[in-house]
Amino acid sequence: MNLHIQSKLPSVGTTIFTIMSGLAAKLNAVNLGQGYPDYSMSPELVALVNEAMKSDFNQYVPMQGYMPLREALAEKIEFLYNASVNPDTQITITPGGTYAIYTALTTVLQPGDEVIVFQPCYDSYIPNVEINGAVAVLIDLKFPEYKIDWNEVRQKITPKTRMIMLNTPHNPSGSILMQDDIDQLRSIVKDSNIFILSDEVYEHLVFDDLPHQSMLRYPDLAERSFVCFSFGKTYHCTGWKLGYCITSPELTVEFRKVHQFNCFSCHSPSQVALSTFLKNKEAYLSLGAMMQKKRDYFIGLMQDTRFELLSSKGSYFICAKYNRISDEKDSDFAIRITKEYGVAVIPVSVFYKNQTDNNVIRFCFCKKEETLEKAVAGLRKI
Ligand SMILES: Cc1ncc(COP(=O)(O)O)c(C=O)c1O
């Protein structure tokens, strides 16, 4: 008998988010590490879910997702991005954004394919590429703005390049794609067979009146893109793990083949509730300003610390250099400040495959003002 298996992800261990959140809980530290709100979601949306359950929406909805929800999403996309998306053939509801990304990669990738991945990046990207037998071709975003060097992208494209993975607004840096990035991307993929995976889970969390550069705005990009979203980020309910993927009708057929034997269909009452709540435009249109206020409040509080904050144009996150304080490795520094000053943060090196360390940590500011105040009271002592 040989019950030994060959790991499909030999270099993967427990993620830093689990480690830092565990440490924060054990030490009762303020947790500015993992990205989730510590304030309540909309009571109206909670009531709608309760109502859906009481009204007996508790059985499977179709594999593609509850149709009224997909219709509401198509209307929203038309309104926001001036794009016509067919709810029947182009939208699939998924159990979260991460799952949508994994499913899209699994739909497209064959062993040996190359995928351009910009780092630092959300921690699932590289394992998701590699578990499909494909190769992540890594490109560092230019520090400290975390911008894409499109010339480097041109150099790294080969006949094996199958996909480019994008994330705007970007976790962990808070950078966003601008019009010139879109122009460069369009010229690079034109006449190629390259697909785009566009992680837009923070689509509404864009600050300073800048537009969210969704792939859906550009028909030539949309036709080759899998665009992934998360209701968790939009409605302050990350624990719901509900999202969706939008792609062309042809690609949707293949996406759903993978999806239907993995999850099949997602939580019904939440979909019913969201199909009504989505009609409330204000709930998502006000999100950017609300989160910008939190960013600015945090920046204001941090003025009299020794951290040097970098720019954040979107997402839940802002990064900071700490080289005025220490030259420790960022992971050692993050663990030490959690233990000594009671504030949990994430070292940015964990978002690089080779642990590139620029002495930068990531703060999550989607927290109550009192949480941010308590955290900064600790950070001021450093
Ligand atoms: C860039 C990015 N993509 C995807 C996700 C995951 O979204 P979900 O919780 O819906 O799977 C996150 C969550 O932290 C994220 O930061």
Q: What is the pLDDT of residues 235-267, one digit of tens each?
A: 999 999 999 999 999 999 999 999 999 999 999
CB 103 within 8 A of CB 86: no
Give the residue, by CA position, lying nearest to ligand 1 atom 7: 97
H or E element, residue 299: helix 287-302
CB 216 within 8 A of CB 196: no
Distance from Cα 97 to the centre of ligand 1, integer Å: 5
C-alpha to C-alpha distance for 291 and 286, rounded to whole angstroms: 9
pLDDT at res. 18: 84
Sign of the CA dihedral 149, 356, 24, 341?
A: negative
pLDDT in tens, 347-356: 999 999 999 9
| Ligand 1 atom nearest to CA at 35 | 14
Residues with CB under 6 A from ligand 1: 35, 96-98, 122, 167, 171, 199, 201, 230, 232, 238, 241, 243
Phi, psi of 149 (to 5 degrees): -90, 100
Q: From the centroid of its chain, how far is CA 33?
A: 15
pLDDT in tens, 291-306: 999 999 999 999 999 9
| Ligand 1 atom nearest to CA at 230 | 10
Distance from Cα 170 to the centre of ligand 1, integer Å: 10
pLDDT at res. 127: 96
CB 334 within 8 A of CB 20: yes
| Ligand 1 atom nearest to CA at 315 | 16
| Ligand 1 atom nearest to CA at 316 | 16
Scan for tokens 């034109």, then name that residue.
Answer: 190
Distance from Cα 283 to the centre of ligand 1, integer Å: 20
| Ligand 1 atom nearest to CA at 167 | 1
pLDDT band of 14, cuts 50, 70, 90: confident
pLDDT in tens, 67-95: 999 999 999 999 999 999 999 999 999 99
Q: Which of 21, 93, 171 to mutate to test the pocket of ligand 1 (most atoms within 8 A of CB)?
A: 171
Decide if pLDDT at 34 tops 90. no
- Burial class for 125, CB neighbours closer than 10 Å (0-12, 13-18, 19+): buried
Q: How far is CA 241 from CA 131, 276, 337, 345, in A?
A: 22, 18, 30, 23
Decide if pLDDT at 230 tops 90. yes
pLDDT at res. 336: 95
The three-class DSSP label of residue 262 is coil
Instruction: Determine what percent of the chain is predicted with pLDDT higher than 70.
Output: 100
What's the first-to-final CA gap in the chain, in angstroms? 56
Distance from Cα 85 to the centre of ligand 1, integer Å: 23
